[in-house]
Structure 1
Amino acid sequence: KSSREEVLRSAVEAVEYLKEHGVTVEFSAEDATRTDPAFFKQVYKAVEEAGADRINIPDTVGVMTPRRMGKLVGEIAETVKVPISVHCHNDFGMATANSLAGVEAGASQVHVTVNGLGERAGNAPLEEVVMALYSLYQFKTNIKTELIYETSRLVSELTGVPVQPNKAIVGENAFTHESGIHVHGVIQMPLTYEPVSPELVGRKTVIVAGKHAGLHGVRKKILELGFAPTEEQMVEIIRQVKELGDKGKYVTTTDLISIASRICGQVPPEEKTVELKELAVVTGSGVIPTASVKLIVNGKEYVSSETGVGPVDAAIKAIRKITDSLVNVRLKEYRLEALTGGSDAMAEVVVKVEDAKGRMVSARAANADIVRASVEAMINGINRLLYLAKKGTL
């Protein structure tokens, strides 16, 4: 353990050595905010006289409050003449506030990290500090703010550390508004419900649908996307949107396109030949994947069970076992895409099915259950083949 005299001497010698070798020196006194103020002021003054170019005040374990941080930086600013920087940790969620308090008191530089990365609870997030300085203080930095979101995504991808959805500025929900709740105000005057223009950080306002979605709002969005659903189709779109909303999901524009494409491209209800009534699957380690389906075909119920290399394969085999007498179809293509994040992600399945005459159609379905989405997509494809063949348009 070093005495105060030894610490002071070591600090001065280190700065002098670096300056002798032409290095720009920023001196940081670790854990300064929990150190005797009189002593670290003495150290800061001594290293300034030794040639330090900048003094850093680190809140190493994030114990400061904005009021205390401002007072401390102000006192250091009266002690030294060189520029001051602050380095704030987020252990109590105050890294951004403490950094801004430091700037108010005279600091000219702030240590930040993208997405607030750092040991323990992280450091002051670049995106929050930069945009707060820009918007709340009218201070400009050399940061290209329009690249903030893109950079955040890149860092998240490279580090494997996800950004929480409600993270300020760069979180997925930061500029997201649910239809039915103040959306009219957002459309007319975005800053009514947004702290800064999302374009400033490389983003756009996102209007999503959820459990509060209204018929008018969703209809307007669907029409803007270029769809022309019938009243019956619109009611079904609203039903599916609300169903997802009741599960706590937000329905984005991508989701709406998927839902509307599926419903607007479907065979009219009165022309459907095949309908799914029940689906059950059994799978697991050491268990042969098995699927049972109950279909209504031309008003009659049929039940079939099959095994496969997986539950989707088994379910499609069970469907074909029932429908082959109507149309002998082959699954030519199968594509699965997660529309939302999380383990309960909304999945969209797109299939291409072909009959014995080489006629091919595409169909899709979306559901949080991948097997259910696959089954519905297959049935939609069969119905479309039968319907278009009947109309003579294939």
Structure 2
Amino acid sequence: MRDGEQTPGVSLEPEKKVWIARNLDALGVDVIEAGSAITSQGERDGIRAVVREGLKAEICSFARIVKSDIDYAIDCDVDSVHLVVPISDLHITQKLKKDREKVKRTAVDMVEYAKKHGLIVELSGEDASRADLDYVLDVYRAGVEAGADRLCFCDTVGVLNPERTYDIFRKLVTGVKAPVSIHCHDDFGLATANTVAALRAGASQAHVTMNGVGERAGNTSLEEVAIVLKSLYGVNTRIVLENLYPASRLVSRLMGIPVAPNKSLVGDNAFMHESGIHVHGLMANAATYEPITPETIGRKRQIMLGKHAGRSTVELALQGFGLSATGPQLDEITKRVKSLGDMGKHVTDVDLMSIADSVLGNHTVARIKLIDCTILSGNHATPTSSVKLTIDGQEVVESGVGVGPVDAALNALRRSISGVADVKLDDYRVEAITGGTDALVEVWVKMSRDGRVISARGAGPDIIMASVQAFIDGMNRLIEEKNGIVKKAAEP
């Protein structure tokens, strides 16, 4: 969490740190570096909150080779310190304005000080990948003699490559009498490759972050290392693989850092298929175009419709809704889907069902219809929404509050159907179609119910009403699978 939170613009309040820490613990990680205790009072409050959770993982604080850093860590009651010593000549002379011998003495003194106060010590060489390896070994050996429990080699600016990493770690693991960790940054996109190379060479521990978050290009991705080790090298870790995707989503949401759609394993596109050729192969055997099953990491396969979609793609998507079509009907639906795709449009589940209803003659009536939606919001008022709608012809009035007017409106809608279905909003995003203050906006939502995931959209100049439109379309699609009329109890 400490290095991940150094992502520009990210600052985690104590409750968010605790939430993430619980999920990391459930994943099975061995050590959680909860923060740097010297940073601020708020940071210390967050670290203490994580410590109080009584998690199975070892709780660690980052610390420089400065006595006050260690004192603050001790005050937070952590299990260990990640004691970082600048070890390259560039850092020693330009940042610290010192010499090698003085830095080594200080590192030894601080290791002894931390050990005297009952801390587990991981002595870490900052910018080790640009340092003299003989000096790195000298500092490490002195640290171990002083009581350091673990050592860490940091590729601080991501300049290692897998071949050099392997060679370095073969020398380290035979040259020191303590477990050695690898800490990589992804400046050249090699963090995972370098981390795996170090582990192959004998490293005992890897420093990683969920989604690869971190400063600049980020750190090594936890999910990538865990799956690469399992799938490509046959190495089992204690990581609970099916918890990876839920943890990824949580971290993304709490940090406010979206995961790139093409990010390996946890990106939106990782298990999404549009091409007809690919989907045809998937229908025969999922392994044709997927290296692992999405369920391995707690995901589900998604079929995207657009101009690349073929008959197989459309057929599979229709099957997901329990629909079947004759050959000519399937050709016509595919033609219309491609036509929307050629216009640059994303074809949602609602779009597909509208096309299918038209072609197949299934003119279903929406079970949920909006009559009215009002919003109260202001500088000193909690955003509040009131909605009036009908469910299967029965009028329902409900209200909700939220952190903003859109949130309030969607919460009111959720409450209005609570007796019919429990619907979860998985993703929400807004795109401006035109410019200006009267811009036409398009709202996209991804919603789920009982494992069924659908997407829907709404468009218009009013972002609130576009959001409400998208949400209602999605709700109608999710509850459509239930046969018969479901009544909501009348309000008193």
Is the TM-score greater than 0.5?
yes
Instruction: Give the secondary-structure state (helix, strand or coil) at the position aligned to 2:273.
Output: strand
- Residue 243 of structure 1: which of 313, 325, 339 is its match? 339
Alignment of 1:1-394 (within 5 A): 1-215=97-311, 217-227=313-323, 237-247=333-343, 251=347, 253=349, 256-257=352-353, 259-261=355-357, 341=429, 343=431, 369-370=459-460
Change in CA separation of 1:194 and 1:6 when aligned onto 2, cut-off 3 Å: same
What's 2:82 paired with?
Answer: none
After superposition, the C-alpha distances for 1:308-346 in whole angstroms (9 at most, x for unaligned) are: xxxxxxxxxxxxxxxxxxxxxxxx9x9999998562687
Q: Which runs of 5+ in 1 are unaligned?
A: 269-331, 350-365, 378-394
Paired residues, number? 296
Change in CA separation of 1:92 and 1:49 when aligned onto 2, cut-off 3 Å: same
The residue type equivalent to 1:152 in the other structure is: S
Q: Using the aligned pairs only, state the percent identity.
A: 49
| CA positional deviation for 1:3 | 1.6
After superposition, the C-alpha distances for 1:197-239 in whole angstroms (9 at most, x for unaligned) are: 2111001222222213233542453245223668887565324
- In 1, Cα distance between equivalents of 2:160 and 2:444: 48
TM-score, normalised via structure 1 length:
0.66
Instruction: Give the secondary-structure state (helix, strand or coil) at the position aligned to 1:97.
Output: helix
| CA positional deviation for 1:258 | 5.5
- In 2, Cα distance between equivalents of 1:346 and 1:237: 24
- In 2, Cα distance between equivalents of 1:339 and 1:55: 41
Instruction: Give the secondary-structure state (helix, strand or coil) at the position aligned to 1:85.
Output: strand
Does the 8 Å contact 1:85/1:107 carry over to 2?
A: yes
CA-based RMSD of the aligned residues comes to: 3.5
Instruction: Give the secondary-structure state (helix, strand or coil) at the position aligned to 1:72.
Output: helix
- In 1, Cα distance between equivalents of 2:349 and 2:181: 43
The residue type equivalent to 1:109 in the other structure is: Q
- In 1, Cα distance between equivalents of 2:250 and 2:297: 14
After superposition, the C-alpha distances for 1:103-133 in whole angstroms (9 at most, x for unaligned) are: 0111011000011100011000111111111
Change in CA separation of 1:78 and 1:249 when aligned onto 2, cut-off 3 Å: farther
| CA positional deviation for 1:259 | 4.5
| CA positional deviation for 1:89 | 0.2
- In 2, Cα distance between equivalents of 1:231 and 1:370: 36
Change in CA separation of 1:346 and 1:236 when aligned onto 2, cut-off 3 Å: farther
Q: Which runs of 5+ in 2 are unaligned?
A: 1-96, 365-396, 398-408, 414-424, 434-440, 446-455, 470-492
The structure having more radius of gyration, on CA atoms, is: 1
Change in CA separation of 1:367 and 1:247 when aligned onto 2, cut-off 3 Å: farther
Change in CA separation of 1:47 and 1:259 when aligned onto 2, cut-off 3 Å: farther
Instruction: Give the secondary-structure state (helix, strand or coil) at the position aligned to 1:182.
Output: helix
| CA positional deviation for 1:26 | 0.4
Instruction: Give the secondary-structure state (helix, strand or coil) at the position aligned to 1:169.
Output: coil
The residue type equivalent to 1:3 in the other structure is: D
Change in CA separation of 1:50 and 1:107 when aligned onto 2, cut-off 3 Å: same
Identify which range, 209-218 or 139-148, moves more after superposition. Answer: 209-218
